[in-house]
Amino acid sequence: MPELPEVETTVRYLRKHIKGLSIKGLWTDWPKITRHPASIKEFERRIKNKKIVDVRRRAKFIVLDISGKESIFIHQKISGHLMFGRWKLVGGKWVSQQKGPLKDDPKNRHIRLVLFLSNNKQLALADLRRFGKIMLINDSDIDQVPAVAKLGPEPLDISFLQFKQLFSKKHGVIKSVLMDPMFIAGIGNIYSDEILWLASLHPLSRVEKLSESQIKTVWQATKKILTKAIELKGSSVDDYRTPEGERGQFQNATRAYHHTGSKCSKRDGGIINRMRVGGRSAHFCSHHQKLIS
């Protein structure tokens, strides 16, 4: 599933390219994608000719602020990613009219939703597994959407004092805690591994046993890793692609994730090991990542 850096990459690109445009229509081959009690025609009627005022993110969710009292709320889910370009419907399949990855990469061909825009381009959702969803939400209700209401703070926005206060109320192993969206939003498997590698903490370290300096190191590592991942346009380990149809590059900069059996790049004599933590894989250095228990 796209994590914070992938979604932030998408939002920044779309804000630059579709803000100020109007929505002229909608196509989908899967009406249930709206998760909406209204028909797809009603959904289209309510967004047609609405101007896209802004594009923003909350955790792993994308919000298109449109003119009026409603916003479009998009969750790309496991295999979904938004793309911006020009497509033509040929034999029931959308074919990119642009050369490059939008046309050539098979991951970009499973288009389930198209929003037609006023500049004669389209915003499309590719989603192989059909898990993605798009909803209309009253502006006043966005923070009460069940998927959002209980989320923790944004890791790139939180101060160290706020971060430390979060830890003062928490128990458990650090890998699972970082991945808990109710604790802090948007950190998944890849980035929790990289944060802990940089912070020199074993994934089974107990958060209630961490010193203030260790908590500060985690806070600093979180910001550094997520910022770097956004600079590299996220990670394309599987389905994720940027709105231009390209692969993100952070998977080529990881130091722990998917490096099982390799020598640690710190050259400290450690080997990257893999274990299961809370049902998820965890990759860590056998030498410099210390277990605090």
Query: What is the set of active-site residues?
Result: 2-3, 60, 280
Question: How does DSSP assign 179-207, residue by residue?
Answer: T-TTTSTT--HHHHHHHHHHHTB-TT-BG
Alpha carbons 27 and 75: distance in angstroms, whole number: 17
Whole-number Å distance between alpha carbons of 127 and 82: 9
Residue whose pair of structure tokens reads 């939002």 in the numeric block: 11
Q: Give the pair of three-digit tokens for residue 44.
A: 């289209």
- Cα four-point dihedral sign 75, 78, 82, 88: negative
Q: Cβ-count burial of 182 within 10 angstroms (0-12 exposed, 13-18 middle, 19+ buried)?
A: exposed
Name the phi and psi angles at 228, rounded to 5: -65, -40
